[in-house]
Amino acid sequence: MVTGLPAIGVGKTPLVGEWDPPPVRRGAWSPLRDGGEVVGRVLRTQDAVKPVFVSVGHRMSLDNATARVLALAPRYRLPETTRTADRLCRDALAEAG
């Protein structure tokens, strides 16, 4: 919020909420609900792979966040930005100990 830049959240597991699995095709989604409120989407980024969990952050609609995650995940389950951050973190942890 300090920078004014849009932000989204993408996770491999849900932090909260209840959901039903989306259909198996890329781009399919189901709502992630906490109580009666929709707090995100369970999004299939590749055919027949585990979905990811998308939430909005700052200055971003859920539809826009979903479209951006799909655009950033052309070949793998996770968006390229998340894959890179995850890999760098795992490499650093391996080196540290």
What is the average pLDDT score of the chain?
96
Q: What is the largest CA-CA distance in the chain?
A: 44
Domains in the chain, start-ordered, CATH in brackets?
A: 8-96 (3.30.2170.10)
This model's pTM is above 0.75: yes
Average pLDDT over residues 7-21: 95
Positions of E strands within 1-97: 8-11, 29-34, 37-43, 52-56
Q: What percent of the chain has pLDDT over 70?
A: 100
The model's confidence at residue 67, banded by pLDDT at 50, 70 and 90, is: very high
The model's confidence at residue 62, banded by pLDDT at 50, 70 and 90, is: very high
Q: Tokens representing 95? A: 């080196």
Helices then strands, each counted (H, E), the chain: 2, 4
